[in-house]
Amino acid sequence: MLCRLLLNELEHEAYTAYIPNPHLTPETLYEAVAEELGVDVARCGNTHQVLKALNERLIALAMEQRQVVLVIDEAQAMPEQTIEALRLLTNLETESVRLLQVVLFGQPELDLLLNRDSLRQLRQRITFAHRLAPLDRASVAQYLRHRLAQAGYNGGDLFAPAALRVMTRSSGGIPRLVNILAHKSLLAAWGRGERLVKRNHVLMAIRDTESARKPGVIARWL
């Protein structure tokens, strides 16, 4: 969602390339970026030619006064060799301008990846970094109202306060987990013929979700 918001904001400001699934080899990453920027990689016989064509394309865009931004989602999934190869792309520059700006979006595991000693040189190139705080209970409630409204629901609250509390604790305030637990909780309530999602429905969803914090873990986490 954040990637899409950024891409929409940059639509008239920059030429953008978007990589949604970065679990790629270094060679495939170069090809994916080149294709996103309109390079015909079919004419390139090897990685060297792909990088040369990519550099020429970036220089052409720079001559048009167009800034190029590469946005990579789920960056924590990048193999170490591939994320190191990304550093080579940040080296593409002229005497006066950097040809490619890179924005990484990822889960907290991305920090663990970037903190490896082998990626020190890439880490030193990071200009800005921001970590989104987990959602609190009020934010989870607002988030669910928004998602339900986007789906076409315009009635009253579907989640009881106790349900929201346990969902917030179990998800750790991570929107992706909130989505999963909310979906399963709604199914549990519907299956029992109840309109309001209660605490017991969320507990059923938690037991069915491996990545959710279980009740015993919640008590220690609090």
Q: Which of 123, 145, 177 marks a domain boundary?
A: 123
How far is 159 from 150, CA to CA, in rounded Å?
16
Establish if 131 belongs to a structural domain. no
> Which of 106, 96, 100, 156 is closest to 131 using CA atoms?
106
Domain residues for 155? 137-221
Q: Which of 100, 123, 146 marks a domain boundary?
A: 123
Same domain, 116 and 162: no
**pLDDT at position 216:** 52
Same domain, 97 and 181: no
Same domain, 65 and 167: no
Establish if 76 belongs to a structural domain. yes
**pLDDT at position 221:** 39
Same domain, 12 and 72: yes
Domains: count for the chain: 2
This model's pTM is above 0.85: no
Which CATH number do you get for residue 148? 1.10.8.60
Establish if 207 belongs to a structural domain. yes
Establish if 130 belongs to a structural domain. no
Same domain, 86 and 174: no
**pLDDT at position 220:** 37
Establish if 180 belongs to a structural domain. yes
Establish if 202 belongs to a structural domain. yes
DSSP 132: P
Expressed in percent and rounded to 5, the helix, strand and coil fractions of the chain are: 55, 10, 35
Three-state DSSP state, 78? coil
Task: Give per-10-residue mean pLDDT for the chain (222 aa).
Answer: 85 89 92 94 91 93 91 92 88 83 89 90 88 92 94 93 96 92 96 95 93 57 36
Establish if 132 belongs to a structural domain. no
**pLDDT at position 199:** 95
Q: Which of 123, 149, 170 marks a domain boundary?
A: 123
Same domain, 49 and 115: yes
Same domain, 179 and 141: yes
Which CATH number do you get for residue 6? 3.40.50.300
How far is 217 from 39, CA to CA, in rounded Å?
50
